[in-house]
Amino acid sequence: MKIDPSSPKDLSAQIAQAIRDAIVAGKLIVDARLPSETELSDQFNVSRSTVREALKRLAAQSLIRTQRGATGGAFVNRLTFEDAQAMHVTTSTLLLSMNDVSFTQACEARYALERACAVMACTRRESSHLEKMKAELGHQAQDELSDEAFCASDVAFHRALVDSASNPVLSYQLAGAVEAMQPLMNMITFTARSRVKILMLHGNIVDALEQRDPSAVKDSLDLLESYTQALAEDLIVARPSG
């Protein structure tokens, strides 16, 4: 692991990259302990502060964890699906909010991915998944729900749908797409009538899943997508200024 002091990049960035490469290449395996900060500063011939900045960069990516005390130090972290998913959601949310992606485009991507799960979910879904979805339906039927709460339940419903495909890799990949949509969905004002319609469409999805009917699931998702897009369309027409 070599460092170039004349590189345009910060020393701490170079050191972080060197350690990251070692992890990706498998030279540092999970739970392996890195040399202490003092040892690293000797190896790289930089100050301890610089090493620490490098380690903080890696910690921000959940690549390492640190522990104080006698047997402490920095350890290669096992990246869990949970951690990765949380990072993915944050990144996706910011990506959408910072790049004025059209609602149409984001929505299209989301439903395209969800449809991909639908077929698998039909063969794999268990009763617990259906119960989770039905619980969310019950929640969405409450009149006094705020728009935000309605959207949050909507996200939970779709997360359950994705999870019912019983493939954690798929769930992880789709979490970003589904959850990152929430801020955009929150912009929609759901009237009582639109809520009833969405509830009905959600019900169709659950029914189709219950009967393990892939094409019915696909059709219900298509309808829901069209309706969501139409609601967003109305929003743009109603508020052309903002």
List all residues 6 or more positions away from 72 whose beta carbon is below 8 Å from its beta carbon: 66
Stretch that binds DNA, among 63-71, 98-106, 124-132, 218-226 (CB under 7 A): 63-71
Q: Which is nearer to a copy of itself, 34 or 165 (CB)?
A: 165
| Longest Cα–Cα distance in the chain | 68
* Residue-wise DSSP of 204-217: HHHHHHHTT-HHHH
In the numeric block, the tokens 């302990």 are attached to 33
Q: Which is nearer to a copy of itself, 136 or 163 (CB)?
A: 163
Give the Cα separation of 128 and 130 in Å (integer).
5
Q: Which is nearer to a copy of itself, 98 or 192 (CB)?
A: 98
Residue 191 in 3-state DSSP?
Answer: coil
Rule CB under 8 A: choose which of 3, 22, 119, 137 binds a copy of itself: 119
CA-angle at 187, arms to 90 and 117, nearest 5°: 55
* Interface residues toward DNA, by CB under 7 A: 10-12, 34, 36-38, 45-50, 52-53, 55, 66-74
* Interface residues toward a copy of itself, by CB under 8 A: 12-13, 16, 20, 23-24, 26, 30, 49, 52-54, 56-61, 63, 78-81, 84, 87-88, 90-99, 101, 105-106, 108-109, 112-113, 115-117, 119-120, 165, 167-170, 172-174, 176-177
